[in-house]
Amino acid sequence: MSILSEAQAKAILDKVIAFSTADNTSAVLSGGIGGNVRFARNDISTSGIVDDVQLAVEVAYGKRVGTASINQFDDASLERVVRRAEDLAKLAPENPEYMPPVGKQTYTATDTFSEATAALTAEARAKIAEASILPCRERGLIAAGFLEDGHTFFAHANSNGNFGYQRSTIADYTCTVRTEDGRGSGWVASNVKDVAELDAANDIQIAMRKAAASVDAKALEPGKYTVILEPAAASGLISFMMNFFDARSADEGRSFLSKQGGGNKIGEQIMDPRVNIYTDPANPTVPAMPWDGDGLPRERTKIIDAGKVANLQYSRYWASKQGKPETAGWGNTIMEGGTKSTAELIASTERGILVTRTWYIRMVDPQTVLLTGLTRDGTFYIENGQLMYPIKNFRFNESPVIMLNNIDELGRSVRVEDGAMMVPPMKLRDFTFTSLSDAV
């Protein structure tokens, strides 16, 4: 039951729309099967499988809106859920910002599905855990990691004739390797659509090397340093900043993208001219669903163009209020880079610090997007193009906006995090470390 076909999903949604007597009706039917295996101390600790399907119905009389849902799909249940939403809508206060559902849209399917990932079994998950654990047992290292995979479908329809259906898959693998004495720690991550691209046996070697190499870390004085942020380290800061590319908060004067005196910074140079960030649902490395939460079709859109703010996200309400065209919410973020690998960036560095990963990043001041956080699981001093020795972890207080004004060089962009972002490794000047951490 967890994965409905397009025809099955459409049949249910069509009935829901037909039952409604409200001015507007929208419905979403989605579900999936998720599996996972977690390991620690070189043993599997937990492992499981979950399946779930949900139908949510939103109806509106004028600007009065009600939402209800159900997980039974016979005709009587479908009619009941519509009536319940209608009853709620009649009781609700008017929402002046309510927008009626979008009209019929044309979507171009994106390549979000892999048969191999959808077919993953408990035995296959256990083997991936085994490929991580056994080499660590042999080398006297300790592995703790996690594999999570999901196969989901998403279907939506509304009373204006719109309909969409697509399936997607994802597999996310991370592993931390520590030395037995707890003085060294390394980490590796891989996020894929197609589990065939996941190579835990190879990935684990990276985490093992970093764990062994990070023992006996030296303490450097906090201060401003040239750093090479690996993609996973950079993405933590960049993704945080991307949360604030919202037109409304900028126009309201409460964002780093607000302009002094009123308005927003679209068109203004805020970063190094080498910074180009865009979104594209059809990108083959980080494909996104072809529609946003309102059902608008997503398109390739520039966000930062040669360091200038090219576009902000407008909600449908804010676009109508400001007289802007309706554009879909972004489904992924792609930061362009160069051609070099992280290793090649290191080779061209006279003095600097390599950061594997950033951790516990929090906003300190939204006015400047000042963020604090720490380095983790492999921080090394670089001299004359070589990794010289491991160093103790640092706390940083840095703004990604300032950071992207201090670029020395960008490397080759790769898929990171939850599969919705591509970020290059980056060499940056004057990155601000404010204190030392004893944590390994």
Partner 1 sequence: MDRRDFLALSTFFTGVALTPSIFGKAIAAEQLQDAIDIAVKKRLADAALGAATAAGASYCDVRVGRYLRQFVITRERNVENIVNTESTGTGVRVIADGSWGFAATNEMTEDAVANAARQATAIAKANARIQTAPVQLAPTPGVGEVSWRTPIQKNAMEVPIADKVNLLMSVNDAALGAGASFVNSLLFLVNEQKYFASTDGSYIDQDVHRIWAPLTVTAVDTTTGKFRSREGLSAPMGLGYEYMDGRAEDKFVLSNGLTTYGKSYDMKEDAIAAAQDAQAKLKAPSVKPGKYDLVLDPNHLGLTIHESVGHPLELDRVLGYEANYAGTSFATMDKRDEGFKYGSEIVNLFADKTQVGSLGAVGYDDEGVKCKRWDLVKDGILVDYQTIRDQAHIVGKDESDGCCYADSWSSVQFQRMANVSLAPGKTKMSTADMIAGVDNGIYIAGRGSFSIDQQRYNAQFGGTVFYEIKGGKLGPMIEDVAYQMRTPEFWGSCSAICDESDYRMFGSFFDGKGQPSQVSAVSHGSSTTRFDGINVINTARSLG
Which of positions 187-206 make contact with partner 1 (CB under 8 A)? 187
**Out of 40, 116, 319, 407, the residue judged to bind partner 1 by CB under 8 A:** 40
**Out of 10, 15, 38, 308, the residue judged to bind partner 1 by CB under 8 A:** 38
**Out of 20, 26, 264, 332, the residue judged to bind partner 1 by CB under 8 A:** 26
Instruction: Please report where in the chains the tokens 């906090």 appear, as a residue.
Output: 222
Q: How far apart are CA 238 and CA 233, in angstroms?
A: 9
Q: Which stretch binds partner 1 (CB under 8 A): 7-15, 197-205, 348-356, 391-399?
A: 391-399
Q: Is 138 in the site for partner 1 (CB under 8 A)?
A: no
Q: Write the CB contacts of 128 (distance below 8 Å, at least 6 apart in sequence).
A: 37, 147, 173, 198, 200
Looking at residue 313, the DSSP 8-state letter turns out to be B
Query: Looking only at residues 2 through 21 of this chain, which bind partner 1 when binding is defined by CB under 8 A?
Result: none
Q: Is 110 in the site for partner 1 (CB under 8 A)?
A: no
Query: Looking only at residues 414 through 433 of this chain, which bind partner 1 when binding is defined by CB under 8 A?
Result: none
Q: How far apart are CA 110 and CA 350, in angstroms?
A: 43
From the CB of 71, what's the least distance to partner 1, in Å? 6
Query: Looking only at residues 170 through 189 of this chain, which bind partner 1 when binding is defined by CB under 8 A?
Result: 174-176, 178, 182, 185, 187
In the shown chain, the binding pattern of residues 370 to 389 toward partner 1, with x for contact by CB under 8 A and - for none, equals x-xxx-x-------------
**Out of 1, 18, 196, 343, the residue judged to bind partner 1 by CB under 8 A:** 1
Q: Which stretch binds partner 1 (CB under 8 A): 32-40, 198-206, 347-355, 423-431?
A: 32-40
**Out of 3, 212, 364, 407, the residue judged to bind partner 1 by CB under 8 A:** 364
Q: Write the CB contacts of 5 (distance below 8 Å, at least 6 apart in sequence).
A: none
CB nearer partner 1, residue 127 or residue 302: 127
Q: Are strands 64-70 and 43-61 parallel, antiparallel or unpaired?
A: antiparallel
Distances 230 to 183, 345, 438 between C-alpha atoms, Å: 22, 10, 21
Specify the length of the chain in residues: 440
- Any long-range contacts for 123-129 (C-beta under 8 Å, 24+ apart)? 124/195, 125/35, 125/36, 125/37, 125/47, 125/149, 126/37, 126/44, 126/47, 128/37, 128/173, 128/198, 128/200, 129/37, 129/39, 129/44
Q: Which stretch binds partner 1 (CB under 8 A): 109-117, 192-200, 252-260, 407-415?
A: 252-260
